[in-house]
Amino acid sequence: MWKFLLPMGAFVALAVLFAFGLNPNRDIHALPSPLIGKPAPLFNLTDVMDPARTVSNTALKGQVYVLNVWGTWCVACRQEHEALLDIARQNVLPIVGLDYMDQREKAQQWLMQLGNPYTAVAFDTDGRTAIDWGVYGAPETFLVDGQGRVIYKFISPMTPEVWQHDFLPRIQAARRSGA
């Protein structure tokens, strides 16, 4: 009995392990964020377009909003830009940008040439805000609920499908429960 069961068990265990580990859809760089369910870190930074103005998420309390981390050096950000413009046109919620490890002039150029999907873009000069949010690359997109808690983090270029499947239902749920 054991002679049969042991190899069988070992085979099943390996099969499960490989099914998980070799899954081509699994992004090995995507890590679960410890921030989920926690209060969104507050920031108070200058506006990319106008250094005299500040962008802060304190004022957004009570609203569901998206924080999108990007930079002009980031190829995948260029890739998701169309999707972001599209989402902005739907006017569902504020999209706050966090320009990370970037140069202000380049960022301004990018927004003027490609279009600006953001309600406001904060300029993270020294990467401190990014560290507070546990950012380790770009693009990263966070969803924050009305109580100011991070409820979702998406690591990869945004697409209309991801928006439809991963973001919209969560936004609706957050609005329903958060009043």
Partner 1 sequence: MRRAAAALAAFGAALLPGAILLGALLAAASPQVCAEPARALDDYGQLTNPALQARFEHITAQLRCLVCQNESIADSNVELASDLRRQVREMLLAGQSDDAIFKFMTDRYGEFVRFNPPLEAKTLLIWGAPFAMLLLGVLIVYRIVRQRSRLPLDDEPAPGSM
Cα 59 to its chain centre, rounded Å, is: 20
29 binds partner 1 (CB under 8 A): yes
- Binding flags for partner 1, 77-116, as an x/- string (CB under 8 A): ------------------------x---------------
| Residue 179: CB minimum distance to partner 1, A | 28
Determine the size of the site formed for partner 1 (CB under 8 A).
Answer: 17
| Residue 154: CB minimum distance to partner 1, A | 16
Token pair, residue 123, equals 């300029």
* Residue 137 to residue 64: CA distance in whole angstroms: 23
128 binds partner 1 (CB under 8 A): yes
127 binds partner 1 (CB under 8 A): yes
What is the binding site for partner 1 (CB under 8 A)? 29, 31-35, 101, 126-128, 130-134, 136-137
